[in-house]
């Protein structure tokens, strides 16, 4: 990754995160909206779709390091792997991109939104929500899921060289596909209680988009819950960053 200025970081993160929410919200829309070909595709389709969304969007945002997630940005800074002065540029790009991608998802599926017979229940296409509301336990779920993601990013082995000069690729051999598999694993194992935001921008940006988009008959954005998928991932990321610093290398 080359050393980028503020505007370049914003641009790459914006494009990558826009792709993330376009494709991620898009797979949920495909599975939920009744006049879509993917209707009733189920939880596994959604998880796999989000995983591939991560792979594609991270590949796009590779020049900036492909954070795509304020929790990843904060985790790297907490682990002393990112200059704190660059954090604002990443956050701006991530939030703007998340909002733009969600709007593009709505544009793609507008006719399906218009003909969906349960428009009040479409918030879940854009933002997460708990199956059993309890802010404390919902927060714990998001902390744990995000900790797994960020701790894996911070500790996952990259390319090393053995004594015999043979490369040991570790997870680097898979490139961004590796983190996509991690996201799918988190979704399948830990995503059931809250829909696994594990990314404040991924949840808040589309939630804002849902609040302002002209979706006929839509429900509320559930602002009372909206802090949980923001605070939980940030706490989990900081814990992962701090722990990674005290572990023996």
18-27, 160-169, 192-201: least confidently modelled range = 160-169
Write out pLDDT tens, residues 112-167: 999 999 999 999 999 999 999 999 999 999 999 999 999 999 998 764 555 555 55
Instruction: Please state, in angstroms and rounded to a whole number, the distance separating the CA atoms of residues 93 and 69.
Output: 10
Percent of the chain with pLDDT over 90: 88
26-40, 128-142, 157-171, 197-211: least confidently modelled range = 157-171
Instruction: Please state, in angstroms and rounded to a whole number, the distance separating the CA atoms of residues 249 and 211.
Output: 46
Handedness of CA 53, 45, 145, 142 (dihedral sign): positive
Helix (H, G, I), strand (E, B) or coil at 163: coil
Provide the greatest CA pair distance for the chain: 65
* Distances from the Cα of 196 to the Cα of 17, 85, 116, 210, angstroms: 17, 29, 25, 18
E strands, the chain, are 160-161, 167-168
Can you tell me which residue has the tokens 């593009």? 104
Residues constituting the chain: 249
> What is residue 159's predicted lDDT score, i.e. its pLDDT?
47
Q: How confident is the model at residue 175 (pLDDT cuts 50, 70, 90)?
A: confident
State the Cα angle at 96 between 172 and 65, rounded to 5°.
20
- Please check the confidence at residue 213 and state whether its pLDDT lies above 70: yes
Residue 144: Cβ within 10 Å count:
17
Write out pLDDT tens, residues 53-108: 999 999 999 999 999 999 999 999 999 999 999 999 999 999 999 999 999 999 99
> What is residue 162's predicted lDDT score, i.e. its pLDDT?
54
> What is residue 172's predicted lDDT score, i.e. its pLDDT?
62
Q: Quote the mean pLDDT of the chain.
A: 94
Write out the two tokens for 137: 């336990």
> What is residue 138's predicted lDDT score, i.e. its pLDDT?
98
Instruction: Please state, in angstroms and rounded to a whole number, the distance separating the CA atoms of residues 32 and 63.
Output: 34
Percent of the chain with pLDDT over 70: 92
Residue 35: Cβ within 10 Å count:
13
> What is residue 164's predicted lDDT score, i.e. its pLDDT?
55
Q: Does domain 6-246 have CATH number 3.40.718.10?
A: no
Q: State the first-to-last Cα distance of the chain, in angstroms, to the nearest integer.
A: 23
pTM of the model: 0.95
- Please check the confidence at residue 170 and state whether its pLDDT lies above 70: no
- Please check the confidence at residue 14 and state whether its pLDDT lies above 80: yes
């Amino acid at each position: 990754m080359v050393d980028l200025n503020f505007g370049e970081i914003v641009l790459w993160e914006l494009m990558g995160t826009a792709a993330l929410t376009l494709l991620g919200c898009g797979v949920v829309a495909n599975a939920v909206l009744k006049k879509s070909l993917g209707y009733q595709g189920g939880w596994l389709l959604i998880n796999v779709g989000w995983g591939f969304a991560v792979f594609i969007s991270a590949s796009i945002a590779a020049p900036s390091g492909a954070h795509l997630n304020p929790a990843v940005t904060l985790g790297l800074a907490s682990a002393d792997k990112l200059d704190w002065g660059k954090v604002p540029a990443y956050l701006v790009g991530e939030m703007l991109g998340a909002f733009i991608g969600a709007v593009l998802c709505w544009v793609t599926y507008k006719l399906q939104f218009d003909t969906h017979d349960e428009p009040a229940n479409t918030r879940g296409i854009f933002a997460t929500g708990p199956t059993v509301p309890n802010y404390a336990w919902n927060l714990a779920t998001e902390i744990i899921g995000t900790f797994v993601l960020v701790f894996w990013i911070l500790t996952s082995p990259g390319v090393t060289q053995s004594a015999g000069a043979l490369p040991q690729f570790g997870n680097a051999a898979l490139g961004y596909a590796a983190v996509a598999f991690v996201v799918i694993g988190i979704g399948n194992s830990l995503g059931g209680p809250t829909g696994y935001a594990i990314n404040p921008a991924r949840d808040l940006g589309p939630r804002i988009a849902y609040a302002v988009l002209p979706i006929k008959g839509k429900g509320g954005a559930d602002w009372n819950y909206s802090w949980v998928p923001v605070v939980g991932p940030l706490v989990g990321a900081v814990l992962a960053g701090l722990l990674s610093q005290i572990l023996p290398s």
